[in-house]
Chains A and B, each alone.
Chain A
């Protein structure tokens, strides 16, 4: 079956760095997405990786290793507003999105 695994919850301190991991097993691969979702709101796009390596975009970076079925989202200089759920999703061979359950990130002052 198809499966996306990410931690349920993480806690970090304001100003620090946090890495949210995502491992996947899917039938085919056409890219991996990271989304941020604040409570009660729709997800917003953060990043897309289809080739191995690190993609940097401001305070957020996303890494992909296709051979390991692994990705991480790295958040630097954490701010209180970064408290949210972070969703990992993989586009499979049919371009269907397979969603992880999301990681709730709690930022403490």
Chain B
């Protein structure tokens, strides 16, 4: 079964509004989670590394004020797309590593399709 769960799987929002995507590790504690974005027919692009209890580390070119990441607990990280625009429409995926069990496997959430209209 899934060990990392993402919600919602699909969301449509109006331009200018904000939308929150949740990523949960179901049966392990994830001190670090990763947020990716994937545009159609393109590879995964790391947006940021989410660290429990501290600020996220953003990749170059990713606006931290637009993509707010909160990792308030060891099992939950959230990505909030603020003031969304149509160009933010994409597939957003989170992942986490369970270093206590098997640090060699990276578990992905199911992904969230965001459509901004």
Residues of A within 8 A of B (CB): 31, 33, 40-45, 48, 50, 87, 96-97, 99-102
The answer, yes or no, to whether B43 is at the interface (CB within 8 Å) is yes
**A101→B104 contact, CB < 8 A:** no
A100-B43, A102-B43 as given contacts; A43 in contact with B108, CB under 8 Å: yes
Residues of B within 8 A of A96 (CB): 46
A87-B43, A102-B43 as given contacts; A42 in contact with B110, CB under 8 Å: yes
CB distance from B72 to the nearest CB of A (A): 23
- Interface size classification for chain B: 10 to 19
Which 10 A-B pairs have CB atoms at the shortest separation, nearest pair first?
A42-B111, A42-B108, A101-B43, A48-B104, A99-B43, A99-B44, A42-B93, A102-B43, A42-B110, A43-B108
Main secondary structure of the interface of B (DSSP, over half): strand
Interface centre among B42, B43, B107 (most CB of A within 10 A): B43
Task: Please measure, in the bound complex, the distance between the C-alpha atom of A43 and the C-alpha atom of B6, giving whole angstroms.
Answer: 13
The answer, yes or no, to whether B26 is at the interface (CB within 8 Å) is no
Task: Please measure, in the bound complex, the distance between the C-alpha atom of A3 and the C-alpha atom of B45, giving whole angstroms.
Answer: 14
Residues of B within 8 A of A42 (CB): 6, 93, 108-111
A41-B111, A42-B111 as given contacts; A97 in contact with B43, CB under 8 Å: no
**B109→A48 contact, CB < 8 A:** no
Which residues of B from 62 to 117 have beta carbons under 8 Å from A?
Answer: 91, 93, 104-111, 113
Q: In the complex, which of the residues A31, A44, A45, A101 contacts B42, with contact meaning CB atoms closer than 8 Å?
A: A101
**A50→B108 contact, CB < 8 A:** no
Residues of B within 8 A of A41 (CB): 110-111
CB distance from B106 to the nearest CB of A (A): 7
**B104→A31 contact, CB < 8 A:** yes
Closest to A8 in B: B41
Which residues of B from 20 to 52 have beta carbons under 8 Å from A?
Answer: 34, 42-46
Residues of B within 8 A of A102 (CB): 43
Closest to A4 in B: B43
